[in-house]
């Protein structure tokens, strides 16, 4: 496993000021840079690299690209070969193309999402430092998210016409990028159609997830919180700040995580995801959810899937 | 990183019945096997391999060996070569020598602790299964620990005579076994003597830790709990069961974890360690604690080191 | 204030076996008695009197009566006079009419609900005893509710025809029974119509509440839990036991409490209400919620009132 | 019960600036007044009266007086008579003698502590207001204590010479001031000597407590927090602010509360006390702790009494 983590996500927003206010004062991120095009770069207090979210002004919400950080520059060469051998065009972009980032690989995964791999990003340090650090800084804003934890991407899926880019992108992530499958939802009369997958390149239950839907898109971008109690504080703060909450505090069956889903002012879904859930490991057997229990998998308490949850995304 | 996790620890106990009662009814483990020598094998509900603790009857408490699981059989060959090249004798023990375990490598790390590496152990599954699992099983006992999380080993350390096996074993774990250094305590007039280290082979703040002391030994064996609230429940249960508590609920500065230290009936120190703390990553800069802040590093709330904490161990 | 607390509530259920299973294995109550008519009596582990819920077999769900315990027998004489002077018929029922209860006053409050006052009920003790008690017993079932905390009663309300039994019953509770008003919802063009009230006879935010609706009925019966974390455990257990959850974990604006609403098998709404919220006091000014913020008052996180919440009750 | 609650406590401090910094930035109180003598008045965010703590510059730490608020002015007349009839001199001090307070009764309880009763204090309101309030304000400082909850007073106690002012003051509080006994510690060969008592005038486990010791004094002044999780946050903040912690997070057996004991800069012991514990009621049987279990009563987790806990006070 040479991919270390989600490095950053580039999200399109309709009103950059409103968006920055949300990502700073609700999510608790710190603005670290604005580029000449007006893109705003932010990091969480517990992250050490320059940014993990880039907000890009646009007339349509959604995701421009998602980028993962690999361990070493040599990994980029290795992955360039493997991605190419998988029949996917990969473009090598020079250092600085992504601001503060070294050379990077750019390509489209089978679900049509644009992805980058990179090995270097400017280091700025966490808010607590590396010498005798406090466990949390004094000046937390909003929910005080620790870090960008994962993203869930919607993938074209239409089993009647044989389209299942969830399965395709999952295979790509596993075979080419060394992620491993942690949980999956299997549907269809024979339970053999992979509707959704959760994959890890670390020891957390997911670093990326894919769910089938009508079109390619961004379902949500998730932030890590420590505990169920932080989820309560987060929900209180969202109410105070009149954030549109999609799903109030609840446990996921899948990953066991404690969640709130809510929207940024442009309609991009955010999540606060709390708790480790469990320690994912390559030899931990894959957890499978069957179609009849899908509701409990997503929303463990109600055991019912809200339709808008899979139809509304950007 | 081919070492996946702490696979099991073999602990010596003075009274096997009392010990089993403690590890089952306090720690919440499940007995899975007793071998002909009377060694008792146990696993936690959230572990899938056959056992993670082996209790061995003895007239002296302490640790016999600690074993880590690697990803593949081929890793054993690779590590055999590397350990040997590091000048350490390594014995290859055949499958079944460790019960339910495939072939293994046996060797002594520079701090004199006996360590095994293995790639296979019989699979028995977690208590919630792999299909539509509940987040926790109905029949939890005691504190209901999720898994054995890490161990802290005491290492011969006497800077006046130039002995520092903390530094030696840390180098070994990093250079030979691909662990990475996450936190360290530096002491001495120039702050250049490594008194204690926390190392990870995963994304948790530590899979093993080393602290300098007069003699080689076991400082503690730690179990994972989800949250600070589980720590309260654990402390209540320990009181009910009259477990000797060494350190009541408190936060560590190092790792940020929520802890209780307590003793099994033989005097082996156990820990409930709760919360992820933070996501350890190879590129996260090492956290260093200076000698004057060591107290806060160990016990963040009191900021004072209790002497018995580093002098009493098995 | 001579009324001490909600003593018990008599709830009608469609299937007594299913109901007992729910109140015992979900709510965590202990069955203490079955009378010759098949009514089942239950108490929570942290209550000391013989019962706090009576389940009565019926072909229609809902509440038969609600009973409050007063401090002394002399209080019954005092209240008999005051209730009569308020123009309400009061019947004195002899000891034993309500099982294990001393003499009692029986009357209808202005919202048509049947209420009893009594001063004596057989003492059986809490599950932890009175000498060196543990903070909680070992044999908790289900959510392990501490006690029956309060009830919310629906009261005929139709401002267009001048009907407002919320205001009437509130006045009665304050003027005659010495409760005090803690929070209220005021509606109408001038904000002068009392749609809902929360009243205390103790120092908790409510011992009874009234909300206006089409007909008299029982909105819910609430159990006390200690914390937001207990609410998570409760929701997990409800999912495991396939309890119909009405509202997943959320904070109330009114009372600040942490809540889950769910239904017993007959459709009677139950609540787990956690946290003290705040210390109610007679001189604490009444909190008023305006019609435009009613949603936030009931469901602080979503700030939106679910219609079924005020239309579905028994 | 006409006494409603602890109204305020007047504490002597050695350095008023350091003290104000502690009560504001650690405890989270709000300074509301400084009188011409340099006494500083503070309230908590969730309190509505003008102040609950008065800090008085002095060369010796400790308590000057403690004041309880009664329901009505008429109660003062009633209590004046009853206190006098109990053989205790009571002085009526005119309105304004205690700043912002109406007329008051001043007297010494049998343990030599000076106590006031009053019915009126200037109202200033909580930090969240009375119309559509948020559950907590945005500008919390330090631990953000809700209110001053109770005090524990040390009372001259020497059973060998027949001195037991714990028993005397307890009788006074019950017989004259209408408090009721909730918990007690009984010691001595026959278990009939009342060493400590916890009394309530509300429905919380204690509004005042008394423990026997060599001399009369203040053991601690306690603040209410909502939960065990708030206790963690409080301990973290105390570490950050280098507050001297006496007892790290732990549960009391007595009252079931979650506690931290710590010292203000003058050495006056403070407590954060979290959770309701249980609902105290006049008919709830008194909980008795026996001498051999006293340790568990005070510190449920360690079950051991720290000597300094009863010998160090102001």
- Burial class from Cβ neighbours inside 10 Å (0-12, 13-18, 19+) for residue C85 reads exposed
- Interface touch A284/B256, C-beta < 8 Å: no
Question: Does the pLDDT of residue D92 top 70, yes or no?
Answer: yes
Chain C residues within 8 A of A232 when measuring between CB atoms: 228, 251, 258
Domain limits of chain A? Answer: 3-118, 147-311
- Residue C10's nearest CA partner among C101, C137, C144 is C101
pLDDT value of residue C52: 98
pLDDT of amino acid C8: 98
Helix axes B228-240 and D228-240, enclosed angle (nearest 10)? 110
pLDDT at residue C1 tops 70: no
Task: Give the strand pairing for C287-290 and C180-187.
Answer: parallel
Stretch D140-158: mean pLDDT: 97
List pLDDT tens digits, range D187-245. Answer: 999 999 999 999 999 999 999 999 999 999 999 999 999 999 999 999 999 999 999 99
Q: Is A223 a catalytic residue?
A: no
Instruction: Tell me the C-alpha distance between D112 and C117, whole Å.
Output: 42
CATH entry 3.10.180.10 includes domain D147-311? yes
Mean pLDDT, chain D, whole residue set: 97
Shortest alpha-carbon distance between residue C302 and chain A (Å): 6
Report the distance separating Cα B83 and Cα B114, nearest Å.
Answer: 13
| Fold assignment, B3-118 | 2,3-Dihydroxybiphenyl 1,2-Dioxygenase; domain 1 (3.10.180)
Question: In the prediction, which pLDDT does D65 show?
Answer: 98
**% of chain B surpassing 90 pLDDT:** 97
Q: Do domains B3-118 and B147-311 have the same CATH topology?
A: yes
Q: Do B285 and A251 touch (CB under 8 A)?
A: no
- Each residue of C149-179: pLDDT tens digit? 999 999 999 999 999 999 999 999 999 999 9
Residue C207 has pLDDT above 70, yes or no: yes
Residue C309: predicted pLDDT: 85
- With a cut of 90, say whether residue D307 has pLDDT above it: no
Cβ distance A282 to A75 under 8 Å? no
Element spanning B187, H or E? strand B180-187
Per the annotation, the verdict on A206 as an active-site residue is: yes
d(CA A244, CA A265): 8
Per the CB < 8 Å rule, is D275 touching C130? no
Tell me the C-alpha distance between D77 and D84, whole Å.
Answer: 11
pLDDT in tens, B72-86: 999 999 999 999 999
Report the mean per-residue pLDDT for chain A.
Answer: 97
Least confident window among A303-312, B104-113, D281-290: A303-312
B296 close to D (CB below 8 A): yes
Q: Is residue A5 within 8 angstroms of chain B, CB to CB?
A: yes
Return the biggest CA–CA distance within chain A. Answer: 58
Distance of alpha carbon C153 from alpha carbon B308, whole angstroms: 59
Q: Does residue A136 belong to the interface with chain D, where contact is any CB pair within 8 Å?
A: yes
What are residue B12's phi and psi, to 5 degrees? -90, 135
Mean pLDDT computed over D307-314:
87
Q: State the catalytic residue, choosing from B206, B258, B262, B313.
A: B206
**Does A1 score more than 80 pLDDT?**
no
Q: Which of chain A's residues have a Cβ under 8 Å away from the Cβ of D240?
A: 134, 138
Q: Which of A32, A71, A70, A37 is nearest to A51 (CA)?
A: A32
Residue B286 has pLDDT above 70, yes or no: yes
The pLDDT of residue B1 is 61
A86 Cβ contact list (under 8 Å, min separation 6): A172, A175, A176
Identify whether the C-beta of residue B52 lies closer than 8 Å to the C-beta of residue B44: yes
Closest Cα to residue A207, out of B279, B207, B147?
B279
Q: What is the mean pLDDT of residues A145-149?
A: 98
**Taking the mean position of all CA atoms in its chain, how far away is CA B155?**
14
| HSE-up of residue C113 (Cα within 13 Å, Cβ side) | 35
Residues 6+ apart with CB under 8 A from D301: B235, B236, B238, B239, B245, B248, B249, D250, D251
Give me the mean pLDDT over the D255-273 stretch. Answer: 98
- In tens, the pLDDT along A4-27 reads 999 999 999 999 999 999 999 999
Per-residue confidence band for D1, with pLDDT thresholds at 50, 70 and 90: low
A85 touches chain D (CB under 8 A): no
pLDDT band at A306 (very low <50, low <70, confident <90, very high): confident
- Closest among A195, A210, A178 to A288, alpha carbons compared: A195
Neighbours of chain A (3+ CB pairs under 8 A): B, C, D
Catalytic residue (choose from B252, B258, B262, B313): B252
Cβ–Cβ below 8 Å for B302 and D232:
no
List the single residue in A232, A239, A300 with the smallest CB-CB distance to C228: A232
Which residues in chain B are contacts of D245 at CB distance < 8 A?
301-302
Q: Is the minimum CB–CB distance between B161 and chain A shorter than 8 Å?
A: no
Contacts D229 to B, Cβ<8 Å: 228-229
pTM value surpassing 0.95: yes
- Please answer whether residues C175 and C86 qualify as being in contact, where contact means their C-beta atoms are separated by less than 8 angstroms: yes
DSSP string of C170-220, one letter each residue: HHHHHHTT--EEEEEEEESTTS-EEEEEEEESSSSS-SEEEEEESS-EEEE
Interface test with B, best of A150, A203, A285 (most B CBs within 10 A): A203
| D261 counts as catalytic | yes
Task: List alpha helices for chain A, DSSP H.
Answer: 16-21, 73-85, 165-175, 228-240, 294-298, 307-311
What chain C residue is nearest to B229 in terms of C-alpha separation?
C229
Q: Which of A135, A229, A253 is the closest to B253 by Cβ? A: A135
Q: Each residue of D61-73: pLDDT tens digit?
A: 999 999 999 999 9
CB-based contact C186:C193 (threshold 8 Å): yes
Reported as a single tens digit per residue, the pLDDT across C209-219 is 999 999 999 99
Mutate to test the interface with D, among B235, B301, B306 (most CBs of D within 10 A): B301
Is D271 catalytic? The answer is: yes
| B281 contacts chain A (CB < 8 A) | yes
What pLDDT does C311 receive?
86
A119 chain-B contacts, CB cut-off 8 A: none
User: What is the Cα–Cα distance from A112 to D300, expressed in whole angstroms?
Assistant: 58
Query: Quick check: is A99 catalytic?
Result: no
Q: What ipTM is given for this predicted complex?
A: 0.95
* Residue C252 known to be catalytic: yes
Nearest to A66 by CA among A114, A23, A4, A103: A114
Going by pLDDT thresholds of 50, 70 and 90, the confidence category of residue B305 is confident
Q: Mind listing the pLDDT tens digit for each residue in B150-174?
A: 999 999 999 999 999 999 999 999 9
Q: Which pLDDT value is given to residue D24?
A: 98
Catalytic residue among D8, D113, D146, D150: D150
Contacts of D133 in chain C (CB under 8 A): 253, 287
């Amino acid at each position: 496993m040479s991919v270390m983590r989600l490095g950053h996500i580039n999200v399109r927003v309709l009103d950059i000021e409103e968006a920055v206010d949300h990502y700073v004062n609700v999510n608790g991120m710190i603005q670290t840079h604005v580029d000449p095009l007006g893109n705003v770069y932010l990091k969480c207090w517990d992250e050490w690299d320059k940014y993990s979210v880039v907000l890009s002004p646009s007339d349509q919400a959604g995701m421009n690209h998602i980028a993962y950080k690999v361990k070493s520059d040599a990994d980029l060469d290795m992955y360039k070969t493997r991605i190419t051998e998988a029949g996917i065009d990969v473009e090598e972009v020079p250092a600085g193309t992504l601001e503060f980032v070294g050379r990077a690989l750019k390509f489209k995964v089978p679900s049509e999402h644009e992805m980058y791999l990179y090995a270097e990003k400017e280091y700025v340090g966490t808010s607590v430092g590396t010498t005798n650090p406090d466990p949390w800084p004094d000046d937390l804003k909003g929910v005080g998210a620790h870090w960008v934890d994962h993203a869930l991407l919607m993938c074209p899926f239409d089993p009647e016409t044989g389209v299942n880019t969830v399965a395709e992108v999952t295979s790509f992530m596993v075979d080419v990028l060394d992620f491993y499958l942690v949980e999956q939802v299997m549907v269809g009369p024979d339970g053999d159609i992979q509707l959704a997958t959760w994959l890890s390149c670390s020891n957390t239950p997911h670093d990326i997830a894919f769910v089938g839907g009508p079109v390619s898109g961004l379902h949500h971008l998730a932030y890590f919180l420590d505990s169920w109690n932080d989820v309560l504080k987060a929900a209180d703060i969202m109410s105070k700040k009149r954030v549109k909450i999609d799903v109030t505090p609840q446990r996921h069956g899948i990953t066991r995580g404690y969640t709130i889903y809510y929207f940024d002012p442009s309609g991009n879904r955010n999540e606060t995801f709390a708790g480790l859930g469990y320690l994912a490991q390559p030899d931990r057997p894959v957890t499978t959810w069957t179609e009849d229990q899908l509701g409990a998998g997503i929303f463990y308490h109600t055991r019912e899937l809200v339709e808008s949850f899979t139809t509304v995304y950007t």
